[in-house]
């Protein structure tokens, strides 16, 4: 049985191909530039040459690609976009036109633009690109199931904070099912408000394969717990320090006991330490994090967590994990199956049996090298 897991971040796209006939350490791996960085670079090149750009395709992760588009327009270069692709820059298409200066066009109008225009088909999940990459090494990709992770703010209503909207969503999911795999869905079950996840599901429709879509940060945290030094603990704090977002879970016998999410660029190591301590001691408030330009905090367990006397205080994963090297909480840098960069892929692999029980037996058998099911995943 084979499962293709693809973790799409801001900086990198991380791929792990699970094969039940191989040890996990022998699975095929790729760590390559993320789609948003790839399109960012393509727009930058067009700006330097003074060429117009037209973007078609689907909504995808913004960030760098949005910044490049803004700079392109400020340089006086035209940028055209079909409505689905334009939502990469903002869900409010009026703002895309009026504030950014993007010219909206239909698919037919995009196709009719002059030959010198740079054409970019936006998408987060490009299955064909992965097939082509592996074909260069003589490998034929034939998975039984797909799993893809992206970060999704969701489509917040006009005038409603997208930070608050995402945190409302996190709260609903945890209350619906208090475990990390609550953030994973079959393609057909992705909530309609999670537009980036929906776009990924649409991108894979033609493949006619089972697809699970998951939020990146919970996937990375779940993957980090597969490190034997982490999963053996009754209670644990796990931080995913991403390029744009920091998300920290407090996990224990009650499941997810608390969580906060902040923007990586808005915090220092000391500030992160303070927030981690507040979550551990059950005194961190949503208002405190939100007022600090973060997404917020949620507490589901009012009892303070005991600080380990002679062990690490927080588990850390993510591409910006070096921020926590000087943490006063004695950080432990998780290395599930020997590879920190694939924590999200391993987390998706662990979530797959919960979403597609028919694949549970081979996957859980392969994961037996980890400490089984920790208290927070036995619910």
Mean pLDDT (the chain) is 93
Range 298-311 average pLDDT: 86
Decide which of 3.30.465.10, 3.40.50.10490, 3.40.50.1100, 3.40.50.150 is the CATH code for 35-122.
Answer: 3.40.50.1100
> Residue holding tokens 């205080």?
313
Confidence of residue 62 (pLDDT cuts 50, 70, 90): confident
> Residue holding tokens 């961190």?
284
> Residue holding tokens 């400490």?
371
From the number of C-beta atoms within 10 Å of its C-beta (0-12, 13-18, 19+), residue 144 rates as middle
- pLDDT of 333 > 90? The answer is yes
Range 83-109 average pLDDT: 95
Range 27-39 average pLDDT: 95
- pLDDT of 369 > 60? The answer is no
Q: Among 225, 257, 255, which Cα is nearest to 240's?
A: 225
From the number of C-beta atoms within 10 Å of its C-beta (0-12, 13-18, 19+), residue 104 rates as middle
Give the DSSP H/E element, type plus range, for residue 370.
none
How high is the pLDDT of residue 374? 62
* CB contact burial 110-141 (16+ within 10 A = b; e otherwise): beeeeeebbbbebbbbbbeebeeebeeeeeeb
Confidence of residue 229 (pLDDT cuts 50, 70, 90): confident
**Spatial distance between the Cα atoms of 280 and 299, rounded to a whole number of angstroms:** 10
By three-state DSSP, how is residue 104 classified?
Answer: strand
Output the CATH code of domain 228-336: 3.30.420.40
**Spatial distance between the Cα atoms of 180 and 236, rounded to a whole number of angstroms:** 14
**Spatial distance between the Cα atoms of 372 and 51, rounded to a whole number of angstroms:** 55
% of the chain beyond a pLDDT of 90: 87
The residues spanned by each domain of the chain are 2-32+128-219+346-377, 35-122, 228-336
**Spatial distance between the Cα atoms of 64 and 11, rounded to a whole number of angstroms:** 9
The torsion angles phi and psi of 249, rounded to 5 degrees, stand at -105, 140
User: Of 186-195, 229-238, 278-287, where does mean pLDDT reach its minimum?
Assistant: 229-238
Q: What are the tokens at 121?
A: 């088909």
Range 61-84 average pLDDT: 96
For 282-320, the DSSP string reads T---HHHHHHTTS-EEEES--SPPPPPSSS-S-EEESTT
- pLDDT of 370 > 70? The answer is no
């Amino acid at each position: 049985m084979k499962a293709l897991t693809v973790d799409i971040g801001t900086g990198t796209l991380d791929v792990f191909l699970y094969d039940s006939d191989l040890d996990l350490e022998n699975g095929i791996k790729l760590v390559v530039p993320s789609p948003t960085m790839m399109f960012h670079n393509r727009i930058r090149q067009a700006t330097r040459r003074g060429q117009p750009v037209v973007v078609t395709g689907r909504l995808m992760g913004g960030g760098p690609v949005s910044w490049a588009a803004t700079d392109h327009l400020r340089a006086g270069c035209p940028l055209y976009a079909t409505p689905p692709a334009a939502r990469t820059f903002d869900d409010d298409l009026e703002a895309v036109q009026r504030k950014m200066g993007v010219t909206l066009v239909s698919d037919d109008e995009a196709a009719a633009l002059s030959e010198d225009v740079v054409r970019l088909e936006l998408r987060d999940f490009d299955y064909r690109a992965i097939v082509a990459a592996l074909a260069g090494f003589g490998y034929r990709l034939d998975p039984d199931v797909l799993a893809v992770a992206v970060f999704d703010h969701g489509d917040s209503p006009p005038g409603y904070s997208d930070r608050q909207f995402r945190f409302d969503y996190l709260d609903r999911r945890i209350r619906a099912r208090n475990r990390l795999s609550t953030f994973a869905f079959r393609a057909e079950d992705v909530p309609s408000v999670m537009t980036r996840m929906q776009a990924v599901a649409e991108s894979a429709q033609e493949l006619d394969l089972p697809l699970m879509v998951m939020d990146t940060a919970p996937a990375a945290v779940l993957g980090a717990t597969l490190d034997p030094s982490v999963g053996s603990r009754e209670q644990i704090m796990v931080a995913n320090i991403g390029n744009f977002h920091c998300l920290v879970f407090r996990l224990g016998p009650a499941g997810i006991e608390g969580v906060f999410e902040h923007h990586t660029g808005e915090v220092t190591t000391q500030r992160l330490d303070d927030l981690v301590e507040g979550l551990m001691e059950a005194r961190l408030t949503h208002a405190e994090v939100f007022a600090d330009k973060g997404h917020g905090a949620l507490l589901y367990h009012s009892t303070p967590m005991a600080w380990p006397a002679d062990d690490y205080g927080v588990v850390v994963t993510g591409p910006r994990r070096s921020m926590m090297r000087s943490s006063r909480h004695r950080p432990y840098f998780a290395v599930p199956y020997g590879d920190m960069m694939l924590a999200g892929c391993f987390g998706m692999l662990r979530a797959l049996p919960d979403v597609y029980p028919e694949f549970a037996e081979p996957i859980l058998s392969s994961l037996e090298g980890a400490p089984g099911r920790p208290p927070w995943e036995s619910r």
